[in-house]
Amino acid sequence: MRMTSAIRSILSRAPVVPVLTIDDAERAVGVAQALVAGGLATLEVTLRTPAALRAIRAIRDAVPAAIVGAGTVIDHDQLQAAVTAGSQFIVSPGYSAALCAAGVALGVPMLPGVATASELMAALAAGLDTLKFFPAEQAGGVAMLRALAAPFPAVQFCPTGGIDLERAPQYLGLPNVLAVGMSSVAPVDRIAAADFEAITLLARRAAALPRGVAR
């Protein structure tokens, strides 16, 4: 239950969690500083590149205002490496009872992904009621989350996948959505160009999105 409270607290800090793909760890601190300056302090660095773990460590060391987690964690080796690198929370694309149990044992808040009611029930049975809904747009989007709200009123979600600044308000208006994951607030081309000013401007737009008004 403590871990559930921890992940909810992390997700509640802003309406958007930037999902970052960082190819060059040298850019990580600048990206994190730009996002924090724009009002987004909870950051997910995906383990899709060789630089990801170094990027997490660099952010932890240089940007204390950021809360940095590892995303796309799919096995125990990645989990351990992410925690060693300094990850403050773990995001996985799907639900694995063994992976979540290992994360809890390590004392790190877990945000596993679900796309169906059956997966959701498995997560609930393990005591997890704060979940990533992934891939959000492809798995039914806003309509699916509305449908899940009635049988699972205690569950809160961070939908991720195909969501941009235009679609985000529809998700954030749902009572069972804490925040949305979004890659478009720190586009790969802006990271590669070290265009941190553009990233800050995008972050400000995202941080200003309203929450809790059903649409």
Domain residue ranges of the chain, discontinuous segments joined by +: 2-207
* pLDDT tens column, 137-174: 999 999 999 999 999 999 999 999 999 999 999 999 99
User: Is 105 within 8 Å of 76 (Cβ atoms)?
Assistant: no
Closest by CA position to 183, among listed 46, 14, 23, 20: 20
Closest by CA position to 111, among listed 54, 76, 159, 60: 159
Pick the CATH number of 2-207 from 3.40.190.10, 3.20.20.70, 3.30.479.30, 3.40.50.740: 3.20.20.70
pLDDT of residue 129 exceeding 50, the answer is: yes
Query: What pLDDT is stored for residue 213 in this prediction?
Result: 52
Q: How far apart are the first and last CA of the chain?
A: 31
pLDDT, average across residues 33-43: 98
The tokens describing 110, both together, are: 């877990």
- pTM over 0.85? The answer is yes
* Identified catalytic residue from 119, 132, 166, 197: 132
132 carries an active-site annotation: yes
* Identified catalytic residue from 26, 44, 166, 197: 44
Query: What pLDDT is stored for residue 4 in this prediction?
Result: 75
* pLDDT tens column, 50-94: 999 999 999 999 999 999 999 999 999 999 999 999 999 999 999
User: Is 71 within 8 Å of 46 (Cβ atoms)?
Assistant: yes
Angle, nearest 10°, between helix axes 52-62 and 76-85? 30
44 carries an active-site annotation: yes
